[in-house]
Structure 1
């Protein structure tokens, strides 16, 4: 039997737990010692300003001890006034001094108190601000990229995608290691701590609203379970996964992955090619490394190329994407280029070259 309000308490506890498992990129903050020093300096400036205001109108104040106000008395009055101690031994008696207290010294007192308790207020409001940031992040996150695993493959995949113009705010990293999530947030990505094979973890990453999902886990069986769960939550997202063993690739495609990269066999083929032809191996390695030398990109057909053959374009075309088919450059079915075609080309990248948003580097591992 549940007690009244027990469901609400449970929901609040779940929300606090979710907040601890979602890490947003930290904003750059000053060193604590520098923050304290700055606040102390501001507090002293407020104290000096108050004392000078009182000294300028010292004739409107009375001191019960000697009936006169010197500079030390003004600083004493400013200190006890700003700290709200108020012993009453020095009081404003003239109308001008009382108006000054109302319109000048009272706002300075409030400012002084805010400075003194600023650190405490910051600590108390930190969790509120973090929850507000989390709610705002959830509300604005759409068409983003979810990366499962932030190892070497995951980081390389993110770098490749971000090089085309994808903002870091549109990337969410999911990993079971807290240290890995801290590393991801230090790069500027949002992180979700947890096991990606669980649907509740993927829901925290808003996978149901994601545009593309990159699975770069350490184990093939984990990748299969993640692909099954992700496809169940999001039927439209493009899922690209990496596996170590080639025999697991068909199983991963059956689980819902649109493309599967076999890392072990790809590395083995590159090693073999490098042995047979070191120059060819160097070219392939250059193509794999994004942003330098030669890059392989996908771009749309421009109007000037419509009706031309593959070899009549200015770029080195290796394949043509037509609908859901990928045709080789020498495939007779290519014929003449059409407006809706996309070309997979090899381009030379220079330090000043920027990849346009519609020129997407192909998935590499």
Structure 2
């Protein structure tokens, strides 16, 4: 799957649109007022080719024409001070006003149209991707591990509410979406119904469980992995639809307890969990040539467990003496 361009759905501004446009209008009026005031004070330095008299209406006309165009030549500055003011003040005002109106048109028309078009293009190509809801410390490490294991960066879609987090995700080559993953529309925007899997690490157990619940009702079959920090929340996470629940506190406790029995056990367990270790845990479907053979006879690694119809069986269990089609094998392979 090709690397997709990044799409960021910006958070809605806290200011109403009319205020955003209003301050631009006020800025233009203030600059016009400044130019009108100085031109009025310097009216003796202006010459009207029509009647030779420069009135206040002539000043308004000359200022508006000078700010928006280069003028028609019917009223011209003739004194040095008037010419210097037009050259070094009115001309920059003209450039600023043009840029201000162009920026307004870009922000409120062109940019929104462009963002919607780019989002539609990306959405049409999203399929078989991995959604990561939350790009804090855990989320970023998860993405790094996915990339290290060979996952195409363009297949990873990161959802987060914080723009700085999304900036780091974009640097990794991920597709990003700024929004609240507890909302149906946000998950629909990343085409959760066609995703391969979803990882939820929002930073708060209640938020992560709500994201899982939202994702499950939109995509009933998608595998969802969630991290919870409170042991009491493991059951609610599973009830919400999580297929895998990870508790880092419990895992850390296992590592610490193992280190009491041997100083190298925790190191080996970390090697198993990480792609960068010398050994790695891998899960795969049974191969055709392995059907009927015992789990201990596989050639790709050390078979330690198999899953048959969702039930786990150790390598010494009777079920592990003859592999069947549809079995999932968990093995230890060398890095």
The TM-score bracket by the shorter chain reads 0.5 to 0.7
8 Å Cα contact 2:286/2:326 also seen in 1: yes
State whether structure 2 residue 332 is matched by structure 1 residue 346.
Answer: yes
In 2 relative to 1, CA 139–313 (structure 1 residues): closer, same or farther, beyond 3 Å? closer
| Residue equivalent to 1:258 | 243
User: Could you tell me whether the CA contact under 8 Å between 2:272 and 2:279 is conserved in 1?
Assistant: yes
Q: Are residues 1:207 and 2:197 paired?
A: no
C-alpha displacement of 1:264: 0.9
Q: Does 1:222 find its partner at 2:197?
A: no
Cα deviation code 1:118-165 (max 9, x no counterpart): xx9xx9677655443222101111222111111232123223333444
Q: Which residue of 1 aligns with 2:221?
A: 236
- Asked if 2 retains the 8 angstrom alpha-carbon contact of 1:245 and 1:263, the reply is no
Would you say 1:141 and 2:126 are equivalent positions? Answer: yes
Evaluate the alpha carbon distance shift between residue 128 and residue 185 of structure 1 in structure 2; reply closer, same or farther with a 3 A threshold.
Answer: same
CA distance, structure 2, for counterparts of residue 137 and residue 185 of structure 1: 14
1 CA distance for matches of 2:137 and 2:313? Answer: 31
Aligned to 2:309: 323
For structure 2, which runs of at least 5 residues remain unmatched after alignment? 1-7, 13-101
How much has 1:238 moved relative to structure 2?
0.8
* Cα offsets for 1:253-274 (capped at 9, x unmatched): 0011111011111112112211
CA distance in 2 between counterparts of 1:272 and 1:333 reads 31
Q: How many residues align?
A: 234
**TM-score, normalization: structure 1?**
0.59
Instruction: Tell me the secondary structure at the aligned position of residue 225 of structure 1.
Output: helix
Aligned Cα root-mean-square deviation (Å): 2.5
State the 1:310 CA deviation.
1.9
For normalisation by structure 2, the TM-score amounts to 0.64
1:220 touches 1:244 (CA, 8 Å); kept in 2? yes
2:291 pairs with 1:301: no
**In the alignment, what sits opposite 1:20?**
10
Q: 143, 148, 169: which is aligned to 1:184?
A: 169
Q: 2: CA distance between counterparts of 1:134 and 1:325?
A: 41
Structure 1 residues 195, 303: CA separation in 2 closer, same or farther (over 3 Å shift)? closer
Q: Is the 8 A contact 2:9 2:177 kept in 1?
A: no
SS at match of 1:345: strand
| Cα distance in 2 between the residues matched to 1:203 and 1:337 | 39
Partner of 1:198: 183
- Relative distance call for 1:148 and 1:292 in structure 2 (3 A) is same
Matches within 5 A, 1:272-283: 272-283=257-268
Q: Would the aligned equivalents of 1:19 and 1:131 in 2 still touch at CA under 8 Å?
A: no
- Unaligned runs of 5+ residues in structure 1 are 1-17, 23-119, 350-365
Q: Which moved more, 1:210-219 or 1:158-167?
A: 158-167
Write the distance in 2 (CA, Å) between the matches of 1:175 and 1:296: 29
Shift of residue 206, structure 1, vs aligned partner: 2.4
Cα distance in 2 for residues equivalent to 1:312 and 1:199: 47
Q: What corresponds to 1:167 in structure 2?
A: 152
Does the CA contact (< 8 Å) of 2:154 and 2:173 recur in 1? yes
Equivalent residue number for residue 37 of structure 1 = none
Q: Distance in 1 between matches of 2:284 and 2:219?
A: 26
Q: Distance in 1 between matches of 2:158 and 2:303?
A: 34
1:307-362 deviation line (CA, Å, top 9, x unaligned): 2212222321110122322211122222311233231110111xxxxxxxxxxxxx
